[in-house]
A and B are shown apart, each in its own frame.
Chain A
Amino acid sequence: MKPIIQLEHVNKTYGSGETAVHALADVNLTIEVGEYCAIMGPSGSGKSTAMNVIGCLDRPTSGRYFLDEVDVANLSDVELAHIRNRKLGFVFQQFHLLPQLSALENVMLPMVYGGVPNKERRERAAEALTRVGLSNRLNNKPTQLSGGQQQRVAIARAIVNRPVVLLADEPTGALDSHTTQEVLAIFGELNASGITVIMVTHESEVARKTNRIVWFRDGQVLHDRLMPEDLAQAVTT
């Protein structure tokens, strides 16, 4: 398979001298197209930092990062914005929907920045919302939706530009177990349709749904392709 994400000796250091924090310390990680991958690890182990680097929201202090075989270190702000818009989709724990916009308008937003014509935008946004089971909530404002529904709108927004990689940092962190299952079902379908899904989670049951578990500790990949049956032991060490 073709690698989509390649981290080579990636370091991310915050601050300098004695107070320096090595959020990522020599991380090597390759993820291939179509993988469904969970990133786990204790709090402060560098999971979110890794996701931000992968999502081109942050640049590594040193090391190289290839996204779809392109070294993103050389790209300008506009080029990175374009990559985030076209190749990546983000889902956050706190949904981050714009409160003044309806569900449909929120989902249309990435296409506004992508230069998609207005008519096509509406059609595709409605399509994406239908795909996450919200075809009857197009004109609701975020405050008129439940947490699970809001997260589904956010997922629709993440996939509406047909990304190659879906990045989700604790997407079920704010949801109850029932809605967690709904969201995971959607992720499963998206992955089945060919989208690479990378998800940070603290919950073993969530991680079990994926095909690959990467375990972080102290800014390093401690275990890769961790077997679900070894999860309990990893958590305690």
Chain B
Amino acid sequence: MDIFESVNMAVKTLTANKLRSTLTMLGIIIGNASVIAMVGIGQGAQRYAAEQFESLGPNVLFVIPGSDEARQRTFEVERALTLEDAEAIASQVPSVDAVAPQLQSQQPVTAGNRRISTLILGTTPDFTIVRDFDMEQGRFFSETDLQRNTRVVALGSDVARRLFSNTNPIGQQIRIRNLSFEVIGVMESKGAFLGNNQDDAVYIPITTMSSRITGNTSPYGTEVTFISVTARDENSINAAQFQMANLLRLRHRVVNEDTFTIRTQKDALEIVGNVTGALTLMLAAIAGISLFVGGIGIMNIMLVSVRERTQEIGLRKAIGASQSDILLQFMIEAVILSAIGGLIGTGIGVAGVSLVAVTTPLQAGVSAAAVIVAVSVSGGIGLFFGVFPARQAARLDPIVALRSA
């Protein structure tokens, strides 16, 4: 008997019992849909995070407190980075273009009778260069503001809207910790960076921040959370990294283990890739389990089907079907069920991913390779889980099968 006949026969059997066939496929449909969706969304998240770093440009470096080794040992950071470190980098490292240390704290902010809680972010004028952040209105604070600890702020666009609605915020006063600050600018709308909404923040000179708001000074000076730096150009990234490391080692009197880590954009992208890659893998593994469960569902139903159809199997043997004919027939039924289930599931998964791509900033997408892999894997699952029931069918003794009324 040729394969075309077997397929034809399997299709007839499966369509004769549509409800059962559909329910059997359901497990594979769900499994495949979730594999496609999880991988698609995971990769979307990866691309999204990577793009955020890429949007900073390749020349960006981050200086963060603590060494990699120390971070693995403890949560505590022994030696803080300070504003003075940032100033030293700016004045002494020639391959560096802009330096933006960052100090941040969540605080209540009031304007008139409106009160909101938002992120106060102390930094330097270079911040707008490093982040490629433009003004919507007014100006960002200047070096002079920085030197004089001026009480001026630039508002993120969301904060401006929440505090001032339609009135022009420029020249207005806001209060943080019972001190009043003058609004000198409103930032352009920029969206989130690594999960932080940059529009929901108040930008303030870092000197003002440490002296008036946080008072956050370490024994070595004004502590900062981290320092963003841009190298002069792509060729000076390595030089910048090397020079900053030397400078900071000197300043921190490092004997053996570094008190800081410098990451390039490439490093950051790599970390993002690793983290989101692991996440994607985990999601895919969970989805894979449901695909596996779907396969077991197929096996289960096929076993029931073999039992129900013993008379049919006996009859087929009596009229000339060999063991391999019967084996093939049941295998094909299992593979058709799982492959079609896989196709439908893939369709649903692709639709889900497209929906995510449309409704969220995640650029989720499904590659053709992922679809091919998913469909052939589900077909393979049918093959794998179909073997056992099909062998049971093939080995049925025709006499016993025909007698079971």
Contacts and interface: CB of A to CB of B under 8 A. Distances in A.
User: Do A and B share a complex?
Assistant: yes
Contact of A81 (B16, B315, B322, B399): B322
Interface string A87-116: 000101010101011000000011011110
Contacts of A58: 399
B320 interface: yes
A194 B320 CA distance: 22
Interface residues of B, number: 25
A57 B1 contact: no
Contacts of B12: 100-101
B327 to A, nearest CB: 11
A77 B323 contact: yes
B316 interface: yes
Interface string A143-178: 000000000000001000100000000000000000
Contacts of A77: 322-323
Interface of B: 1-2, 5, 9, 12-13, 16, 311-312, 314-325, 398-399, 402, 405
Interface residues of A, number: 26
7 contacts: A57-B399, A58-B399, A85-B320, A96-B315, A112-B5, A115-B1, A161-B320
B325 A113 contact: yes
A113 B320 CA distance: 6
A84 interface: yes
B398 A78 contact: no
Contacts of B322: 77-78, 81-82
Contacts of B311: 96
Contacts of B1: 112-113, 115
Given A78-B324, A100-B16, A112-B5, A92 B402 contact: yes
Given A57-B402, A96-B318, A113-B320, 6 more contacts: A78-B322, A78-B323, A81-B322, A90-B318, A96-B311, A109-B316
B320 A57 contact: no
B399 A84 contact: no
Given A112-B5, A115-B1, A98 B312 contact: yes
- Interface centre among A78, A81, A113, by most chain B C-beta atoms within 10 angstroms, is A81
A217 interface: no
Contact of B319 (A78, A90, A100): A90
B398 A110 contact: no
A96 B402 contact: yes
Nearest to A81: B322
Nearest to A52: B399
A219 interface: no
Contact of A57 (B9, B16, B318): B318
A150 B256 CA distance: 94
Nearest to A55: B318
B59 to A, nearest CB: 70
A86 interface: yes
A130 to B, nearest CB: 20
